[in-house]
Structure 1
Amino acid sequence: MAEHRSMQRAALLDAARSLLSEGGTEALTFPALAERTGLARSSVYEYFRSRAAVVEELCAVDFPVWAAEVAAAMEQAATPEGKIEAYLRKQLELVGDRRHRAVVAISASELDAGAREKIRAAHGGLVAMIVEALEALGHGEARLAAMLVQGVVDAAVRRLELGAAEEPAVIAEAAVAMVLRGVRG
């Protein structure tokens, strides 16, 4: 029985990812989850009490996987600059991943304070990954610099999500150049 519940929960989360990536937060409804999984709507409530609970579970499951992929890319780099570049490139590469599209859709939604705090904490863990590299480069305000680097990532992600006129590779190159070389180009 526990295995069946676990499989149903995983199916609901997968359906939620699809709904969020296809139609944003408006698409994430319990009737839609029920339809995608073949469950009765009342059965969905046995697994999640609200949309916010679905969002919290997605963050708990998907953010660590995403962060591990970013960390693995950074570990491949030998220099602080290389680690920062890997941090940027990996996040921008993950934009096309359903997990990422779901997280972006989630972050734009009307969530309760608990869900928003979990997302903030997960983002904080991601930003913390590059603090050491920035300290190695001599930044006196490495944490602030890390948050600003993430701001460049977030801006590039928004550009990619909008389907901007620039090719994704051009956006990634511009983001890397902005972070590593500043506005001098």
Structure 2
Amino acid sequence: MQRDALLEAARTLLSEGGTEALTFPALAERTGLARSSVYEYFRSRAAVVEELCAVDFPVWAAEVETAMAGASTPEAKIEAYIRRQLALVGDRRHRAVVAISASELDASAREKIRAAHGALIAMIVEAIEALGHPAPRLAAMLLQGVVDAAVRRVELGAAEDPTAITEAAVTLSLHGLTP
């Protein structure tokens, strides 16, 4: 229960203040634990991030996969892939995933994030293959790059409405730069 409380506090700190806000004193304060007790559960801030990756990225991926499963064409699957990820950005719990992805972390944490992104990319390769793309894995990685850029745009509170950013990402991904 304490570990779950620490992870929930970490999610809150990340969503409210980004990775700079994720400190052991802040975790201790949010959970009512002594700072030394936090170290009993996690050896470092990177360990907290790794645990969040292990817990939260699969949930994110499952939600994206569920959205794609409801689509009947490759184009609709790609659209669902993009839309669901961008919809998850506004969810407080998933905002921690976004904050984690944007942070400077140690090699182990970065590798866990890469693996999680790899699982996301693998989900969309088949839909891109079905469109007849000659390099579906590369296209999937570039598609995720568009999604990641749109996520950052939404997170930054860009001048555009999040709905407009989503529409632009879908249109660019499905139709390129031609109107």
TM range (shorter): over 0.9
Query: Deviations 1:115-154 (Å, cap 9, x if unpaired)?
Result: 1100000001001100000000001100000011111101
- Choose which of 47, 55, 61 in structure 2 pairs with 1:53: 47
Q: Which moved more, 1:108-117 or 1:38-47?
A: 108-117
Which runs of 4 or more aligned residues in structure 1 lie more than 3 Å from their structure 2 counterparts after TM superposition? Answer: none
Between the aligned residues of both structures, percent identity stands at 82
Where does structure 2 lack aligned partners over 5 or more consecutive residues? none
Cα deviation 1:80-110 (Å, max 9, x = unaligned):
0000000000000000112332122222323
- Matched residues in 1 for 2:56 and 2:91: separation? 11
Q: Distance in 2 between matches of 1:105 and 1:169?
A: 20
Q: Which amino acid aligns with 1:65?
A: V
Aligned alpha-carbon RMSD (Å): 0.8
> Who is 1:170 aligned against?
164
1:3 counterpart residue number: none
- 1:2-13 aligned within 5 A: 7-13=1-7
Q: Which of 91, 95, 98 is matched with 1:101 structurally?
A: 95
**Superposition TM-score, scaled by structure 1 size:** 0.95
Match of residue 80 from structure 1: 74
TM-score, scaled relative to structure 2: 0.98
Query: Does structure 1 residue 154 correspond to structure 2 residue 148?
Result: yes
Unaligned runs of 5+ in 1: 1-6
